Chain A
Amino acid sequence: MTDATFSGAVPRQSLYAPDEGMRRRNAAEARFRLYGLIAVGIGLVALVLLLSSVLLNGASSFRQASLLLDVPLDAAVLDKAGDRDPEKMKRVTTIGYGKLLDTALKEMIASKGIVIEGLTDKDVSDMISKEAAALVRNRVLAHPDLVGQTVSFKVLANGRIDGYLKGRVSMESAARDSNVSPNQLRLADALREEGVLIKAFNWLFITAPDASELRPEAAGLGVAILGSAYMMIIVLVLSLPIGVAASVYLEEFAPKNRWTDLIEVNISNLAAVPSIVFGILGLAVFINFAGLPQSAPVVGGLVLTLMTLPTIIIATRAALKAVPPSIREAALGVGASKMQSILHHVLPLAMPGILTGAIIGLAQALGETAPLLLIGMVAFVRDYPGAPPEGFFDPASALPVQVYNWTQRADPAFVERASGAIIVLLIFLLIMNAVAIVLRRKFERRW
């Protein structure tokens, strides 16, 4: 026997005193644990950095600098005919309104007794956003009887002034910037002290359409939110019934043969096809072949529907599988047809799971960007799309695409806007996921 050498090789060791090897192994164990902890830390830190970077950059976009001005709406300028007919008043362009605002601001400065060395007329008029005149004009055209009165308006301040209040623009940077002068910033300080220049909640950011490259202060998400909402309606209306029908067929009716195998492989592969390929599909089939309009929510909705289908089908099939066969047998046992057992018993029981899957699929679709770029949703759209169903064919933007659009612009004020748009997007996603969690909790069933 080799017995003696074998057990003799290991000297008897007390359990209380760990030997050298054991210490080494325990150190390795501790190191390994530490690596794991570091990895978890990296994951959590990445999440925190990601969210805080967006929040820190974007939170300020919900507050906007405005000037409180008393504007005399001079009838002689705005309504020469004097009959308050909006059609005729339309002849006065934004330039006319701009002059009124200009004068109002100058009077305000004079009445408050603000004097700033070297302040030019142009400096003063550039305090006001170029978009402000258009907003005032729209307001007046909607309420013609305002003409002739002196009305208090809250008009948008220039983007650089807004940036100054938010710390993005400083005296030093203004000295180098051709779009803003230090004198304007001094004026801004004085106006702020007098309560003329204020920061208030920025409703326009949520409701207004996009604005041109030079007017970041006026850019809003209105068209993008509407476009995203239209697409979500289309995705929901198409992908939920088609997805559920396909799952019911595959799970309950389909014979097990090569054909259904093919469909299943197909679906699992579709789930992994890069989203941009769906964009190519949309461009080639829906726009070039079927002749649907570019930038329209209907095309975006169709593309996103095709992308969401695999998610919904996979979730629905899991939900159908979770309904125990005893339910089906019970229904069949009392003489129900297969279709009846499914429509009356299996589907209602699987509904919470199906809806949860649908919401998660919808949330994915809401954040999807790449395919929408290819079907022309990057276009600059300022007009709100009409009411559905015709509005589905009007050009629109989408929330994530709007973010991308803004990041491509030069003015740093758009970085703030883009981050703010992401906050809006994340809020929508949060709501959708919360609904999904509540649904799952509420209807969770243990068989």
Chain B
Amino acid sequence: MSISVLILIVLAIAVAGYVMARRRAMALTGGDRRKLHSLIGYYGQTVFLFASVPALLFLGAWLFVQPIVIESRVSSFITPADIPEGGSLDLVMSDVRRVAGGLDAVAAQDGLSEADLEAMRADFSNVRSRLASVGVALGSDVKPNVFEAAKVYRGALKTSRLAMVIAVIAASLAGLVLSYRRVSPEFRARNVFEGFLVALLIGASLVAVLTTFGIVGSLLFESIHFFQLYPARDFFFSLTWNPQFRGGSDLGIWPLLWGTLYVSFVALIFAVPVGMMIAIYLSEYASKRLRSVAKPAIEILAGIPTIVYGLFALITVGPFLRDYFAQPMGLGSSSSSVMTAGLVMGIMLIPFVSSLSDDIINAVPQSMRDGSFGLGATQSETVRQVILPAALPGIVGAILLAASRAIGETMIVVMGAGAAARLGLNPFEAMTTITVKIVSQLTGDTEFASPETLVAFALGMMLFIFTLGLNVIALVVVRKYREQYE
């Protein structure tokens, strides 16, 4: 029975509960709904919620826990001898899952009964070719233990599914019966219903907290895993980044960190003055007509996905910089470079900086401007000597937020900065960043449990810490600044 059918059954039970509860409430008052504590709909809705929500939550929890429990049981079938050279338990387990899935397909295609399947043996039933006939391609012949594990896995999955269906329907019915029996004219259905709703609302607001726990937990867990395989000292202090397929990699963070900071620096050097001047010009000087065109146009830049900027870097900016700057000046011949990525990222950050600066400049009270004009200051003197100093903390906050954006940006650097980990100063050379390496280490062919893959989590951890730190500082600075004028 598929999950969607099960969900429909639960919902059907809940709807039945809704109707029954209304009937009962009506019957108990002899048709006079004024004798009820709450509006009649609330009785139905309360029963509906009790019959559906706990059962569905239970279903979700079951689906989440089921694979963990089954895998730990099945993995006891696998002996160390079954794990091929250089492989891991994870890989064998994924074979087990594929064989199990294949068996289902084989059974469906050839009309085998459960007994036939049970009789199949890895050694002489030609399992590999039969699986291949249903589209499950295996790298090598199936080992007996793996095949037995797959059969057990299949069985456990079946049992678990059945148990789940029964348990979920039972939970739904139990919720129905329990709440239905409470229906009486004195039952405070509205209060119960609203209490239930508030509990759901609280649950929804906890999703954000859970997400943070999920992020921190997964980063921390896999980073620890990484540091067990690779010395933390080398990660933090080595100056080379040189991953190898067959172990012996150098995984020092410095070349990546340098590339990240260099690209972000170029981006900020470009975006901060331009963005701030745009904000100043549009709020202090521009005519209404120019403002009504330029402001939305700059905002469009903010709505364009970063992949578009990445493509722009790859096909337009990169070749342009290479042909007109890098090669004539003899600085390199690579179209992906710090300059390419930095410049394009700078364009991406312009609207971000300008809208933040706009808010900040507008937060400086008009009386400051009046005071300065009243003394005979020109507009630019007012901006430079009164407004900007007054807005300085806010602007610092905005720059920090922009820096955090730049450090965490992925697609532009993946497509514009290159993949060569390098500690250099030439901005027309390709360099790489933390985010680029997270992508390449996690999308490559290396096996998951190797340090070369797990290093991505340690890099992610560093990235998370940097951006979070910058954001927290920025928020504190900006909040302080806001209070100054409240």
Q: What residues make up the interface of A, taking CB atoms closer than 8 Å to B?
A: 25-26, 28-29, 31-33, 35-40, 42-44, 46-47, 49-50, 53-54, 57, 241-243, 245-246, 248-250, 253-254, 262-263, 266-270, 272-281, 283-285, 288-291, 306, 309-310, 313, 337-339, 363, 366-370, 373-374, 376, 378, 389-390, 400, 403-404, 407, 415, 418-419, 422, 425-426, 429, 433
Contact A277 B464 (CB under 8 A): yes
Partner of B435, one of A29, A274, A289, A404: A274
Q: What residues make up the interface of B, taking CB atoms closer than 8 Å to A?
A: 2-4, 63-64, 67-68, 71, 190, 194, 197-198, 200-209, 211-212, 214-215, 218-219, 221-222, 273-278, 280-282, 284-286, 290, 294, 297-298, 300-301, 303-312, 314-316, 347, 350-351, 354, 378-381, 383-384, 401, 404-405, 407-411, 414-415, 435, 438-439, 442-443, 448, 456-457, 460, 463-464, 467-468, 471-472, 475
CB nearest neighbor in A for B278:
A39
Contact A363 B411 (CB under 8 A): no
Contact A274 B218 (CB under 8 A): no
What residues of B have a CB within 8 angstroms of the CB of A309 in the complex? 207-208, 211
Contact A25 B208 (CB under 8 A): no
Q: If the complex has contacts A245-B201, A276-B439, A367-B306, are A54 and B311 also in contact, measured as CB distance less than 8 A? A: yes
Given A40-B282, A373-B443, list of 6 further CB < 8 A pairs?
A29-B379, A33-B281, A38-B277, A250-B205, A369-B307, A374-B439
Contact B408 A426 (CB under 8 A): no
What residues of B have a CB within 8 angstroms of the CB of A273 in the complex? 215, 408, 464, 467-468
Contact B460 A29 (CB under 8 A): no
What residues of A have a CB within 8 angstroms of the CB of B350 in the complex? 42-43, 46
A29, B314: Cα distance in complex, Å: 39
What residues of A have a CB within 8 angstroms of the CB of B407 in the complex? 274
Q: If the complex has contacts A284-B457, A407-B311, are A29 and B202 also in contact, measured as CB distance less than 8 A? A: no
What residues of B have a CB within 8 angstroms of the CB of A268 in the complex? 475
Partner of B209, one of A29, A241, A263: A263
What residues of A have a CB within 8 angstroms of the CB of B206 in the complex? 263
A378, B68: Cα distance in complex, Å: 27
Contact B378 A29 (CB under 8 A): yes
Q: If the complex has contacts A242-B204, A274-B409, A277-B460, are A378 and B443 also in contact, measured as CB distance less than 8 A? A: yes
Contact A374 B442 (CB under 8 A): yes
What residues of A have a CB within 8 angstroms of the CB of B294 in the complex? 40, 43-44
Contact B307 A269 (CB under 8 A): no
CB nearest neighbor in B for A58:
B311
Partner of A400, one of B197, B276, B281, B307: B307
Distance in angstroms from B149 CB to nearest chain A CB is: 16
Contact B404 A290 (CB under 8 A): no
A337, B63: Cα distance in complex, Å: 37
Partner of A43, one of B204, B301, B378: B301
Contact B439 A53 (CB under 8 A): no
Of A37, A46, A285, A363, which is in contact with the most chain B CB atoms at under 10 Å from its CB? Answer: A46
Contact B190 A337 (CB under 8 A): yes
A270, B347: Cα distance in complex, Å: 24
Contact A43 B274 (CB under 8 A): yes
Partner of B194, one of A248, A339, A370, A400: A339
Contact A246 B208 (CB under 8 A): yes
What residues of B have a CB within 8 angstroms of the CB of A280 in the complex? 215, 218-219, 438, 442, 456-457, 460
A29, B280: Cα distance in complex, Å: 13
CB nearest neighbor in A for B216:
A281
Q: If the complex has contacts A36-B277, A274-B467, are A47 and B411 also in contact, measured as CB distance less than 8 A? A: no
Q: If the complex has contacts A246-B207, A290-B64, A373-B439, are A400 and B301 also in contact, measured as CB distance less than 8 A? A: no
Distance in angstroms from B261 CB to nearest chain A CB is: 15
What residues of A have a CB within 8 angstroms of the CB of B475 in the complex? 268
Partner of A50, one of B218, B275, B304: B304
Distance in angstroms from A221 CB to nearest chain B CB is: 14
Contact B311 A418 (CB under 8 A): yes
What residues of B have a CB within 8 angstroms of the CB of A419 in the complex? 311, 315
Partner of A47, one of B200, B301, B383: B301
A425, B218: Cα distance in complex, Å: 32
Q: If the complex has contacts A44-B297, A306-B211, are A422 and B311 also in contact, measured as CB distance less than 8 A? A: yes
Contact A263 B208 (CB under 8 A): yes
Contact A36 B285 (CB under 8 A): yes
Contact A276 B408 (CB under 8 A): yes
Distance in angstroms from A296 CB to nearest chain B CB is: 14
Q: If the complex has contacts A40-B294, A43-B298, A274-B410, are A415 and B205 also in contact, measured as CB distance less than 8 A? A: no
What residues of B have a CB within 8 angstroms of the CB of A363 in the complex? 303
Contact B309 A32 (CB under 8 A): no
What residues of A have a CB within 8 angstroms of the CB of B307 in the complex? 367, 369, 400, 403-404, 422, 425
A53, B316: Cα distance in complex, Å: 7
A285, B67: Cα distance in complex, Å: 13
Contact B464 A404 (CB under 8 A): no
Contact A249 B198 (CB under 8 A): yes
Residue pairs across A and B with Cβ atoms less than 8 A apart, 17 shown, are A28-B381, A46-B350, A50-B309, A57-B315, A241-B204, A268-B475, A269-B468, A276-B410, A276-B460, A277-B215, A283-B442, A309-B211, A370-B414, A373-B442, A404-B414, A407-B415, A426-B308
CB nearest neighbor in B for A343:
B197
